[in-house]
Structure formats: structure tokens, C-alpha cells
Amino acid sequence: MASEEIFLSVCGQPIAANTAISKDIGIYHHCLNPWAIKTTFKKSSAPRHCLAINKTHIFAGQHQKSQVHVYSRLRGNQEALVSFPDRICSLALAQNVLIIGTSEGRLILWEICTGRQVSTPPCHVQAITCLAVSSHHLLSASEDSNINVWSLARLLEFGADAGQEPERVLSNHRGAITDLVIGPSTNAETSLCASSSSDKTCILWNYRSGQVLRTLLFPSAPICISLDAALRALFVCADDGGLYLIELFGDKPLLGSRSSELASIAVQVKAPLGVAEADHGPASCMLVSYDGTSVITGHTKGKILHWHLLDSSHPTELGDLNATVTNLASVPPISPGNSCKIVSVVKPNQNQRQYAITAQLEGHVKSYAEAQPPVRFDGLLNHAGLSAVALEEFTTSFYSTQLDSRDHLRKENDEMRAIIEEQRALLKATTELHGTGLKT
């Protein structure tokens, strides 16, 4: 059975002076069931929203610095240290593009397999605190209380205007954005995202249309939020130490056609699902398991708590890292298929105008003769120039197109000739009829 794996990061000075926990470890790789450390990575201090994971690498932005530490998951060591012009406040991955939000309110996009770097002008008036990515869109949230919606294709387009602006701005919050999550749907009607703010609200949006779907009011400021994998519920950890569960499609659905209230009516969220002990500190990050039965929270006092949703019992302590736990990131039990992987990252280079992709093809690439049945891509990949098979297919298709065109013209000519003959016969019959009438 596949086991879920998670990555944790810590930031700041150790809380207790004399412990057996190493002070040099900044990132932990854990197995969830059973709870066990698999790997650790040293020399990192990543603040909230500054950890991004893919199949081969870990990217960690450093606290109050303009540097990203790159770790190789394959080799288990630090591969590179990459510097940027501005201090880094948030990170996100869109396939093989690392997206960076800076303290100056600008976005930096780095293609890790080519080294290409794209920057935007300051799009927020304050630091970008959160980033969320779908397959087609990027959402950036800031301390200025706004959320910008960007098209990834436009941002990465060659020759695009450097001064381009976001497609849409979501601006209903009245305080700094503390967290931002996005749903998996790419349909324009179900493009859901959720944001939390220091103004003690969470807002559910359709980020494609900019519509506010529902506003949630909390007794204290929400710090971190998460959606379950099936988009059934929103989980919120607030400054009062409480974990709140908001069902989106329960007996009284908040969203959709079955909702009994207008979207403009705010909902007051009152009782939390549970409250962490005061000496744990508020949660600074959270993660919902893929089966939706438990929640993992990391706290400012170094505690890691496991909340079981099935029995609603008090959370159990999984561990103590002796420093503020700032990020929780999961790795899917079954990774989606990918035809290639990035073995080594290419550092960004703004002066370069031509780029080469550095990647490794997954699996064995068979030759054209070995493939049974033959695979066209494999054959073209292993052949110098145009193969004889490709030329033969092109010639055949071109000749068949010409034959089809000739047949079509011949058919049109025959139809036109038949129409002309019918008109001639009708004209002849009409002339003969009129001639007979004149003789009579």
C-alpha cells in the first residue's frame, strides 16, 4: 500500500537550548503512516510559503534573504544556491517553472530546466505573501490585501510585454492576505479558490470570473487554510488555536444551486472543531491528508499535531522540532505520469537569448525497429533528419489529397453538365410549344 509522504520546514532559533534535536536541520522528509523520518536536509531556514517540492528537487527560500536553496531529492544533498535581486517572500511550482514572490511586490518566473528567467514589474504595492497555481493560472496575494489572477501562458510567452498586467484583481479583503489555496478544477464555472486575511475573514471566490461565492467571518484572524482533495470542506486554523471545519456542500450547502442564501450574505463561523493547547502556540501551517480523514498542523512552538476527523478526539502529538514549523508540503502517494524529469537544475540567466532544455527521458526509449507496434515518436527521435517512413507518409498524403481534389472537381463538373443539359432540354421544349401555338 502506498504511504503518504510529507515535507516540513522550520525557521528561527531553537526554542529550548539543550535538546537532542540537531540545530542544523532545516527540512524534514517524513512518512505519515507510520510516522517516521526518511531524510533530512541541512542549512535552511525557510519562512512560511517559501517551500516548493517536485519529484526530484526541493526549493527553499531563505528568511529575510534573496536566496533559494536547491536540494536534490535523488542525491540527498544541496545542489545549488541561487540569488535573486529582491528578498524572497513566497514560492510555488508550476510544473518545471519556479515562481517567486518578492518583498517588492514583483513576480519572478524561473524555468529550472532551461535557466530562462521572466520578471514582472511591481504588481503589488507590498510584499507577495502567498502564491497558488493551477494548470493555466497563477494567483498572487499580498500584504496590500489584493489577489492578482495571472495567465501562466502569457507570463511565459516569448517576446511578451514586460509591463503586462494581471487578468483580474480580487480586492474584497480589508487586511493582509495570510493564506491562499486553489481548487483543481480548470472549468470556468467551477474555478474555486479560498483566501484568508488578517481582517478575520475567509472568502471563497470564482477566480476566473472574480465573483465572491461566500464570505466567512471568524472570531479571530485565520492564519492558514486548506481544501480537502474532493473540495468538500475548507479547513481553517486561526490565531486562537482553533481548527475550524466548514462543509461546503453539507446539509446546508454554502455553494451551488442548493444554497438557501445569497452569496452576498456573510456566514459567521462560531465553534471550532478543536483547540490546541496554549503552550503549543497557534498553527502556522497545515495539511489535509489525501483521504480527507485527518489534518496535520505545525505550530509556532515546534509541535506537530495530528487531528483525527473521524472521532473528533483531541489531537495527538507527532513530534517536536524545537523551532517554529513554517511549512507542510505533501507528496502524492501515486505520482502523475511524466515523460521526463529534471535531474539537475539550470541556474537562471537573464542575458541569454537561446536556451537548451536539460532533462532526462523516463523509461527505455525503443528504436523504431524495436517498437511493436512501431511508435512514430520513437522512430523520429532516433533518426537523423527525416526518416524514409515519414517522407513516404507525407508523399502518400499529398498524393491522396490531390486525388481527392481531382475527384471533387470531376464530380462538380458532372453535376454542372447535367444542369446545363436539363436547361437546354427545357428551353427546347418551351420553344417548340410556343412555335406550335403560333401555327395554330
Closest of 27, 49, 29, 48 to residue 37, by C-alpha: 29
pLDDT digits 0-9 by tens, 294-324: 999 999 999 999 999 887 668 999 999 999 9
pLDDT digits (tens, 9 = 90+) for 224-240: 999 988 888 999 999 99
* In the predicted structure, residue 429 carries a pLDDT above the cut 90: no
- The mean per-residue pLDDT over the stretch 323-341 comes to 80
CA distance 300 to 324: 4
pLDDT score at 414 = 83
**Residue with grid cell 511550482, as numbered in its chain:** 93
**pLDDT (0 to 100) of residue 401:** 57
Q: Which of 10-19, 71-80, 237-246, 276-285 has the lowest mean pLDDT?
A: 10-19
pTM for the full predicted model: 0.80
Which amino acid belongs to residue 185?
Answer: S
pLDDT digits (tens, 9 = 90+) for 174-222: 999 999 999 988 888 889 999 999 999 999 999 999 999 999 999 999 9
% of the chain beyond a pLDDT of 70:
86
Confidence at residue 134, expressed as pLDDT on a 0 to 100 scale: 92
Q: How far is CA 185 from CA 5, 189, 230, in A?
A: 24, 9, 10
Assess whether pLDDT exceeds 60 at residue 368. Answer: no
Q: Taking the CA atoms of 267, 197, 175 and 262 in sequence, report the sign of the dihedral they define.
A: negative
Query: Do 2 and 290 form a contact (C-beta atoms < 8 A)?
Result: no
Q: Say whether 351 sits in a helix, a strand or coil.
A: coil
- Indicate the burial class of 296 (C-beta count within 10 angstroms; 0-12, 13-18, 19 or more): buried
CB 10 within 8 Å of CB 334: no
Nearest Cα neighbor of 117 from 141, 95, 97, 139 is: 97
Whether residue 425 is predicted with pLDDT greater than 50 in this model: the reply is yes
Per-residue cell: 384: 537523423
Cell numbers describing residue 12: 528561527
| pLDDT for 139 beyond 90 | yes
Give the Cα-Cα-Cα angle 57, 135, 357 (nearest 5 degrees).
50
C-alpha 180/C-alpha 177 separation (Å) is 8
**Residue 145, φ and ψ in degrees, nearest 5:** 80, 5
Residue 423, phi then psi, degrees to nearest 5 = -65, -40
Show the cell assigned to 130. Answer: 502567498
189: left (phi over 0), alpha (psi -120 to 50) or beta: alpha
d(CA 366, CA 368): 7
**How far, in Å, CA of 143 to CA of 179, rounded?**
11
Residue with cell string 523509461: 363
Q: What is the pLDDT of residues 39-92, one digit of tens each?
A: 999 999 999 999 999 989 999 999 999 999 999 998 899 999 999 999 999 999
**Which of 14-23, 233-242, 406-415 reaches the highest mean pLDDT?**
233-242
Looking at 2.130.10.10, 3.30.420.40, 3.40.120.10, 1.10.1500.10, the CATH number of the domain 5-341 comes to 2.130.10.10
For the chain, the C-alpha Rg in angstroms (whole number) is 31
Q: Is the pLDDT of residue 434 over 70?
A: no
Domains in the chain: boundaries: 5-341, 371-439
For CA atoms 363, 368, 372, 376, give the dihedral sign.
Answer: positive
**Helix, coil or strand: residue 422:** helix
pLDDT digits (tens, 9 = 90+) for 370-382: 544 555 666 666 6
pLDDT tens digit sequence for 157-176? 887 666 688 999 999 999 99
List, for residues 228-273, the tens digit of each pLDDT value. Answer: 888 889 999 999 999 999 999 888 888 887 887 888 889 999 889 8
Q: Could you tell me the three cell numbers for 23?
A: 540545530
Please name the amino acid found at residue 416. M
